[in-house]
């Protein structure tokens, strides 16, 4: 079970330490891709982003970066940002804090970032305390469900469009599981918000 839109109470509970959205009055939306790099999926996504002239933030799994360095380099070369998503895609609730931190450090061997997203959004308050010393911890406001085989690609598109507004952090996946949906939904999602005058971009642009 997951919520397409993050419930208000859940957001409120952690709002001090975690970033759930980035409210702004510039009609700006923040675009993220989790769980890659995955050669054929990520490359297709890069082509779509290039077509719309959009930059995004990719929360990469260390193991996938290790296995697919060429795909990873294409993300960087295209000017997108990257974030740490652990080496083994660990669930913080099921992992001892020491092991969780070790896995994040292992991911750091392959790339550096100041952004971290806990896999499945699962992280303990103890883990937050330690990780926030080095990272800005990014959650999300819209989970598109592109990984969910119980919904159609059309439903996935309307979920994504109907739940997104200025300031939303929208998560897609560049994974095998999400391939069919993300490649259908992404160009339509970008066109929709482009036509409405929104700017779509990566998180926290460095000054
Ligand atoms: Zn993930």
Residue 67 has pLDDT above 50, yes or no: yes
- How many angstroms separate the alpha carbon of residue 148 from the centre of ligand 1? 13
- How many angstroms separate the alpha carbon of residue 35 from the centre of ligand 1? 5
What is the distance of C-alpha 65 from the center of its chain? 15
Residue 6 has pLDDT above 70, yes or no: no
Residue 207 has pLDDT above 50, yes or no: no
- How many angstroms separate the alpha carbon of residue 119 from the centre of ligand 1? 4
Residue 16 has pLDDT above 90, yes or no: no
pLDDT digits (tens, 9 = 90+) for 148-196: 999 999 999 999 999 999 999 999 999 999 999 999 999 999 999 999 9
pLDDT digits (tens, 9 = 90+) for 22-57: 988 899 999 999 999 999 999 999 999 999 999 999
CA dihedral (80, 86, 90, 95) positive or negative: negative
- How many angstroms separate the alpha carbon of residue 105 from the centre of ligand 1? 17
pLDDT digits (tens, 9 = 90+) for 70-116: 999 999 999 999 999 999 999 999 999 999 999 999 999 999 999 99
Instruction: Enumerate the H helices of 34-178 as residue ranges.
Output: 39-51, 62-67, 69-77, 97-108, 125-131, 153-163
- How many angstroms separate the alpha carbon of residue 9 from the centre of ligand 1? 22
The DSSP call for residue 22 is -
pLDDT at res. 205: 61
- How many angstroms separate the alpha carbon of residue 61 from the centre of ligand 1? 8
Q: Which residues hold their Cβ within 5 A of ligand 1, which is an ion?
A: 34-35, 119
Task: Please name each of the domains of the chain with its CATH number.
Answer: 8-193 (3.20.20.370)
**8 A C-beta contact, residue 115 and residue 83:** yes
What gap in Å lies between CA 49 and CA 88, rounded to an integer?
27
pLDDT digits (tens, 9 = 90+) for 114-140: 999 999 999 999 999 999 999 999 999
């Amino acid at each position: 079970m997951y919520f397409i839109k993050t419930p208000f109470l859940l957001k409120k509970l952690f709002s001090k330490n975690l970033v759930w959205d980035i409210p702004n009055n510039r009609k700006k939306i923040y675009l993220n891709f989790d769980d890659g790099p995955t050669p054929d999926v990520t490359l297709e996504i890069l082509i779509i982003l290039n077509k719309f002239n959009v930059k995004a933030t990719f929360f990469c799994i260390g193991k996938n970066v290790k296995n697919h360095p060429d795909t990873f380099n294409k993300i960087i070369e295209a000017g997108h940002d990257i974030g740490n998503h652990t080496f083994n895609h660990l669930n913080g609730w099921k992992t001892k804090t020491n092991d969780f931190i070790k896995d994040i450090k292992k991911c750091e061997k392959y790339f550096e970032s100041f952004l971290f997203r806990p896999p499945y959004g699962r992280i303990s308050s103890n883990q937050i305390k330690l990780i926030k010393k080095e990272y800005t911890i990014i959650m999300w406001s819209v989970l598109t469900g592109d990984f969910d085989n119980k919904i159609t690609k059309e439903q996935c598109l309307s979920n994504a469009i109907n739940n997104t507004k200025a300031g939303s952090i929208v998560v897609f996946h560049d994974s095998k599981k999400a391939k069919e949906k993300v490649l259908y939904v992404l160009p339509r999602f970008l066109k929709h918000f482009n036509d409405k005058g929104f700017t779509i971009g990566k998180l926290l642009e460095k000054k």
